[in-house]
Structures are given as C-alpha cells and as structure tokens.
C-alpha cells in the first residue's frame, strides 16, 4: 500500500505509521509527504527518512484550501503512485477536486469519539462538557467537518484532575496505535488504485 501524508505540524502520527512499517506490522510505504506549512516538523521528519516532500501553495489563505491547490495536490499524489491519503494533523478542510481524485481513499484521525466534538481542540471540548470518556477516531474524509464514515475508534477515560494538556497527551498515545491499525484494515480490503 503506497501512502501519501498531508500534515501541518509535528507529524507524530506519521511517525507512528513509520514505526508500524519498521516493525513489520504494516505492509506499506510512504511515498510523499506534503504540508501547507513550509516550516512544519513533519517535513523534516520525512526528509530525515529519505521520503519525498513538498509544500502546498494555498495562495496566501490562512485556513482555506483553494481548489487550484487541491487539484495540484491530487496531481502530485497521483504522480507519486499514492493509493491512500492520510491526513496527519492537516488543518485545512478537504473538498473537491482532491476528494474526486481519491474517492473513499482519504483518511483522517480526530482526537474525539466522533460524532462527538468535531472541529478544533476537541479534547478541550470534552473537558468543558464534563464527559467521563473521550478518545480518537479514524474516519474516511468527506466534504463535511469530521463527518465521514468511521473506520476505528479507541476510548480514553477522562481522569479527575485532567488538564487539556494531560488529556490530549493520552489521546495522542491512543492515536498512535489506532492510525496504523486503521490503515492495515483498509489495506486488507482495498483494491489497488487504477493506474493513470
């Protein structure tokens, strides 16, 4: 399974995927890592592993993912032979034409038990709501905000005295287990992408 990663930050989930590949528990290869942030640590991590990288030109928009940029991103992923796209801390909403280029082939990991607490800083949302547990979700990406079909979830208890930082740290540990497991599940049932 040839993977492409889109990320905006440190790339800890990409590292978890690489660790699973190194351990032999995930039969996959990361062919390309793209970021909308030219200074993102995820790019440094990828380059350190000899993985091709690139920067997504979002035309100066801080949060929007322009159609032209999405079309370019889809083209670069296809040129690299990517079969499955994994969002790893990518902070822009994916729409068409990227979704059209990879229908049901884009995954995201979200730090909550969707459909609860979509959007940003969901661990803070969980604490503010006073729920006894939260967790993380790997799901297919559709045009909504964290609304695509769920693939796998893992529960994380909210402990007495939790801060946003302590809860988020425990959720990230679960994410690093869950994302490779979800990719493995998809890879087992996913037909090879048609060649272009």
168 belongs to the catalytic site: no
Phi and psi at residue 182, to the nearest 5°: -70, -40
CATH of domain 2-189: 3.40.50.170
73-130 per-position pLDDT tens digit:
999 999 999 999 999 999 999 998 999 999 999 999 999 999 999 999 999 999 999 9
Q: Distance (Å, rounded) from C-alpha 40 to C-alpha 42?
A: 5
pLDDT for 190 beyond 80 = no
Burial of 33 (0-12, 13-18, 19+ CB in 10 A): buried
Can you tell me the mean pLDDT for 158-187? 96
Cβ atoms of 105 and 83 within 8 Å: the answer is yes
Where exactly are the structural domains of the chain? 2-189
CA 27/CA 86 separation, integer angstroms: 15
Q: Which of 39, 110, 139, 176 is catalytic?
A: 110
Residue 193 has pLDDT above 50, yes or no: no
The DSSP element (H or E) to which 138 belongs, if any, is strand 133-140
pLDDT per residue as tens digits for the range 6-45: 999 999 999 999 999 999 999 999 999 999 999 999 999 9
């Amino acid at each position: 399974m040839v993977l492409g990663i889109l990320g905006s930050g440190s790339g800890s989930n990409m590292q978890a995927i690489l660790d699973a590949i190194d351990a032999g528990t995930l039969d996959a290869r990361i062919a390309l890592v793209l970021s909308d942030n030219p200074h993102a640590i995820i790019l440094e991590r990828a380059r350190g592993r000899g993985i091709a990288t690139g920067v997504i030109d979002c035309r100066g928009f801080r949060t929007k993912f322009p159609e032209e940029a999405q079309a370019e991103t889809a083209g670069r992923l296809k040129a690299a032979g990517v079969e499955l796209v994994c969002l790893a801390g990518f902070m822009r909403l994916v729409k068409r034409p990227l979704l059209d280029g990879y229908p049901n082939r884009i995954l995201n990991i979200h730090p909550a038990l969707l459909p609860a607490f979509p959007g940003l800083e969901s661990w803070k949302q969980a604490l503010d709501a006073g729920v006894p547990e939260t967790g993380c979700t790997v799901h297919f990406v559709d045009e909504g905000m964290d609304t695509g079909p769920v693939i796998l979830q893992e529960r994380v208890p909210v402990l007495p005295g939790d801060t946003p930082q302590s809860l988020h740290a425990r959720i990230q540990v679960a994410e690093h287990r869950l994302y490779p497991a979800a990719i493995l599940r998809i890879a087992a049932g996913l037909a090879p992408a048609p060649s272009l």
